[in-house]
Amino acid sequence: MSLTLGIETSCDETALALVDRGRLVAERIATQIDAHALFGGVVPELASREHLRVLAPLFDELLADAGIGPDDIANIAVARGPGLLGSLLVGLSFAKGLALATGARLVGVNHLWAHLTAPALEQEFEYPALGLLVSGGHTQTYLIRSPLEFEVLGRTLDDAAGEAFDKAAKTFNFPYPGGKYIDMLGRRAQPDHSMFPRPYVNNDNLDFSFSGVKTAVVNHVEAHPHLRLPRMPEPGEDVETILTEAGVLDEFSLVCSSYNWCIADALRIKVERALRTVADAGVRSLVVAGGVAANSVIRSTMTTLAETHGLRCVLPPLRLCTDNGAMIAIMGERLVNAGWCHDLDLEAIPRGRA
Ligand code: KG4
Ligand code: ZN
């Protein structure tokens, strides 16, 4: 047995996992969503305090689940960025302390690469792959030439796709984080393709921009003020019930369906363009990762796109889409196997490449 511990504290999930030769052994995750929901978004100071509060007890639980002691861990992989600096430092400090105490090998992991590697925990796929990373903080396409060679092709110029979903959801007065409500309601209607413009597609580059469509939805709700959830759901109550009571369920469903479509189709256009740009690379798979990859319209759009191009579509299950410790552990294990190792002066890289 050669266990790699993965530590993820870059945003609002404290997550730990143990991986052994590409297979998940145990995992624990503590989400902070409820703490941040009160503020309608992630509060960085609160996030780092929460990580600090739960990380050590979570580690004890993980070891108990796996029936091992700290000395059984061979490698410690920790997300070093991108992410919130204070939160990353909690994970890094914990990783360094543990490495010092046990003599385990320490390796810092790029959180974004880890997202795109997570599906490998459940399915094998071939490289080169085209990666689409869509999360609350990032929207990027990658050419992944091999498991450790990531080349950014396109990135967002402003907001991430997840922010566009969350901002629209906030405008509709949905509970935070609201992307999943837009997805769910949208399934009830066919999209109106003329309701919102597909963002930033009339150009010839590979980048994304979602600030325009975010503004379009805000303007739409200002012009149709009844498109706001009249009250927060009680525990166990669903949003549909409240919208039905208010007589706006069908209208909301149409708006959500149109919004899902315009974001998914903008992603499709840029992914297809990215595939054309790297046509010589011999891409075999399309890997879609990040929390927004849970969106059903994005999933079906990417599945069709992959079929059209003769690619294997790699869509992780929901628990591997959102932030988790297993993705850090498997990425770390791959780095260690390739000879990577960091010293105790390993630093966080909160922005850009890590
Ligand atoms: O990857 P993630 O867990 O966090 C970051 O690392 O950023 O992604 C969270 C994002 C949030 O913006 C959330 O609203 C969005 O993923 N999300 C969805 C859905 N489920 C989660 N967006 C659209 N449709 C969904 N079903
Ligand atoms: Zn993430």
Tokens 């000395």 label which residue?
A: 71
Residues annotated as binding site for substrate? 133-137, 166, 179, 183, 295
Q: Which two tokens stand for residue 208?
A: 């994304």
User: Of all residues in the chain, what percent carry a pLDDT higher than 90?
Assistant: 93
- Check residue 33 and give its pLDDT: 87
> What is the span of the domain harbouring residue 50?
3-119+320-337
Residues 60 and 31 in one domain: yes
Rounded to the nearest integer, the mean pLDDT of the chain is 96
Sheet (strand 13-20) strand order: 23-31, 13-20, 3-8, 73-81, 105-110
- Check residue 352 and give its pLDDT: 63
Residues 188 and 332 in one domain: no
- Check residue 354 and give its pLDDT: 40
What pairing do the DSSP bridges indicate for beta strands 105-110 and 73-81?
A: parallel
Contact (Cβ atoms closer than 8 angstroms) between residue 68 and residue 97: no
Query: CATH number for the domain including 74?
Result: 3.30.420.40
Q: Which two tokens stand for residue 64?
A: 């108990």
Render 276-301 in DSSP notation, one character per residue: HHTGGG---EEEEESGGGG-HHHHHH
104 located within any domain: yes
Ligand 1 probe mutation, 292, 301, 315, most atoms within 8 A of CB: 292
- pTM of the entire structure? 0.94
For the beta carbon of residue 71, count every other beta carbon within 10 angstroms.
Answer: 10
- Check residue 353 and give its pLDDT: 44
Nearest Cα neighbor of 119 from 310, 341, 309, 306 is: 306
Residues within 6 Å of ligand 1 by CB = 11, 135-137, 162, 165-166, 177, 179-180, 183, 290-292, 294-295, 322-323
Q: If you measure from the C-alpha of residue 136 to the centroid of ligand 1, how many angstroms do you get, rounded to a whole number?
A: 5
Which ranges of the chain would DSSP assign to H, the alpha helix? 33-37, 44-66, 85-102, 111-117, 161-171, 179-186, 211-223, 239-245, 249-277, 296-308, 318-321, 325-337
Residues 217 and 236 in one domain: yes
Residues 279 and 146 in one domain: yes
Residues 311 and 324 in one domain: no
- Check residue 120 and give its pLDDT: 97
- Check residue 38 and give its pLDDT: 84
What pairing do the DSSP bridges indicate for beta strands 23-31 and 13-20?
A: antiparallel
Cα–Cα distance between 181 and 166 in angstroms, integer?
A: 10
Q: Which two tokens stand for residue 191?
A: 């999209």
199 located within any domain: yes
Tally the domains of the chain: 2
Non-local (6+) Cβ contacts of 141 within 8 A are 130, 131, 132, 133, 152, 153, 154, 155, 206, 270, 271, 274
B/e letters for 290-316, b = 16+ CB within 10 Å, e = fewer, are bbbbbbebbbebbeebbeeeebebbbb
B/e letters for 167-177, b = 16+ CB within 10 Å, e = fewer, are bbbbbbbbbbb
191 located within any domain: yes
354 located within any domain: no
For the beta carbon of residue 240, count every other beta carbon within 10 angstroms.
Answer: 16
Q: Which residues of the chain have pLDDT under 50?
A: 353-354
Write out pLDDT tens, residues 213-256: 999 999 999 999 999 999 999 988 999 999 999 999 999 999 99
